[in-house]
Amino acid sequence: MPSITQIIDNVVAVQRKTPGAAFLISGKPGEGKSDCCYDIAAAQDIPPHRIKRVHLGNYDRVELGGVPEITTHEPTGERITVFRPTDIFADFADGTGKSMVILEEAAQQDRDMQQFVAQFTLDRETCNFKLDPECRILLTGNRAEDRAGAKPLLSHLNDRLYHQDMETSLDDWCAWAMDNDVDPLGVAFLRLRPDLLNDFDPNRRSNPTQRSWTKLFTEVPTDMPTAGYLSVAEGKVGEGAAAEWVAARDMMHKMPSIDSIRLHPDNAEVPTEPAVRFAVATALSMTTDPQAFARDMQYVSRMPKEFQMVYVTDALRLNPQLQQTKDFIDWAIKNKDIFMGGN
């Protein structure tokens, strides 16, 4: 199954050649399908205000396809039916330039809505106007095996789409999280417990998924009293996952400060608990720069190799120029058994 990065590259390559090619991105609930669509738009230089995200479950076919209205055709006088435009897609009509329409929850729709989606993706028109030739169309949906309400797609709709199945890896999510200022302690925790990144069960009210963790790590104040924070976390990711995260977070707060590590890289405390080691390696990598890198490497080299690898991989991804430094080259040569020439 392709990685998120590969899916983005695949869609961008096809839509650059054929903007009218429509893709369905399928995956588990909460796995980041919408974020993937926005990344595809960004890779094609489509700004956020030129993206229309439509949750199909919030509409019926008439709302999207236009309200039927009988009028007189001039000059023949013939009575005809036209569809009075809604404003949902008006900003993406022919002549408006590059844009993207994201049709969410496509696989959860009934036959009537699927008929609209099939016509929309094939004819690229609605409400008596055509979409601009540079308007891209993406669909998202869950898979039948996820038991989240997905229905079989109509055969002619299936045939009109390019299908990409998404399964987020821990590395994919960590890379995205670090680029989007997600709490480094949260990133470190999920590195410690990767099985909790996407553990969806339709019988549970709240589930640990990529989406729910991201919301918890970015929307909830970290300075809440522990009991209140735990209650909120339970309501977002479920009781078991929340209890593990809060316990690990309390332990991670014991990690030495980044400033003290960089002031005294040769004798600053190196934690023994794996959760704290992940937290330190992640926090250092997210804040490093060419000036701090040498001191970071002095300190990180005192940690077990798997944590050195976490730091180096993340630091190079965020700052590729660090691959040219003597500190990295020396480390890579010394650790060539675990590091195959960088990313």
Q: For residue 113, is pLDDT > 60?
A: yes
Domain with CATH 3.40.50.300 in the chain: 4-165
User: Please, what sign has the CA dihedral across residues 85, 91, 97, 100?
Assistant: negative
Percent of the chain clearing pLDDT 90 (strictly above)? 48
pLDDT at 343: 45
Tokens 């690229």 belong to: 124
Distance CA 222, CA 183 (A): 9
pLDDT at 128: 66
Of the candidates 197, 192, 96, 100, the residue with the CA atom closest to the CA atom of residue 139: 100
Q: For residue 71, is pLDDT > 90?
A: no
4-165 under CATH 3.40.50.300, yes or no:
yes
Is 57 exposed, middle or buried (CB count within 10 Å of its CB: 0-12, 13-18, 19+)? Answer: middle
CB 287 within 8 A of CB 258: yes
Q: For residue 73, is pLDDT > 80?
A: no
pTM, whole model, 2 decimals?
0.68
pLDDT tens sequence across 239-271: 999 999 999 888 888 888 899 999 999 999 999
pLDDT tens sequence across 17-61: 999 999 999 988 877 899 899 999 999 999 999 999 999 888 877
Strands (DSSP E) contained in the chain are 23-26, 51-55, 67-73, 78-84, 99-104, 125-126, 129-130, 135-141, 162-165
pLDDT at 1: 74
CB 282 within 8 A of CB 256: no
Q: For residue 97, is pLDDT > 60?
A: yes
CB 211 within 8 A of CB 301: no
- Residue type at 13 in one-letter notation: A
